[in-house]
Amino acid sequence: MRRPTPCFDGWLARVARELAARGQKAELARYLSKRYGRPARSWESTLAQIVGRTLLPNAEIVLAIDGWLARKKSAKNSERISLFNHK
């Protein structure tokens, strides 16, 4: 019997949404490859397994993915701010 994990389920849904855009999974895989040393193709496969719920990531990987998403979101917001402040 699977235990309910609402926080992890919400995080996983957010990751799936962010990685749905073209090229985002490959970009995250390259980031993880640089950080942890495995080939990017291997990370792409791992990310697909995480999103597909066949692989449960350890805390270090969750934090690395979450940090990448936060930096990406921060960069997107700063672009928006500069676009709206430009006159």
**Residues 66-76, mean pLDDT to the nearest whole number:** 83
- Total structural domains in the chain? 1
pLDDT score recorded for residue 72: 83
**pTM, 2 dp:** 0.79
Residue range 27-36, pLDDT digits in tens: 999 999 999 9
Whether residue 76 is contained in a domain is answered as: yes
pLDDT score recorded for residue 83: 45
Instruction: Tell me the residue range of the domain where 59 lies.
Output: 8-85
Whether residue 60 is contained in a domain is answered as: yes
Whether residue 51 is contained in a domain is answered as: yes
At 55, list the tokens: 């692989």
pLDDT score recorded for residue 1: 56
Concatenated DSSP letters for 45-72? Answer: HHHHHHHTTSSPPPHHHHHHHHHHHHHH
Contacts of 24 (CB under 8 A, 6+ apart): 18
Task: Please choose, from the candidates 18, 6, 21, the residue with its C-alpha nearest in 3D space to the C-alpha of residue 68.
Answer: 18
Whether residue 13 is contained in a domain is answered as: yes
Confidence of residue 67 (pLDDT cuts 50, 70, 90): very high
The span from the CA of 31 to the CA of 64, in Å, is 9
pLDDT score recorded for residue 86: 46
Whether residue 33 is contained in a domain is answered as: yes
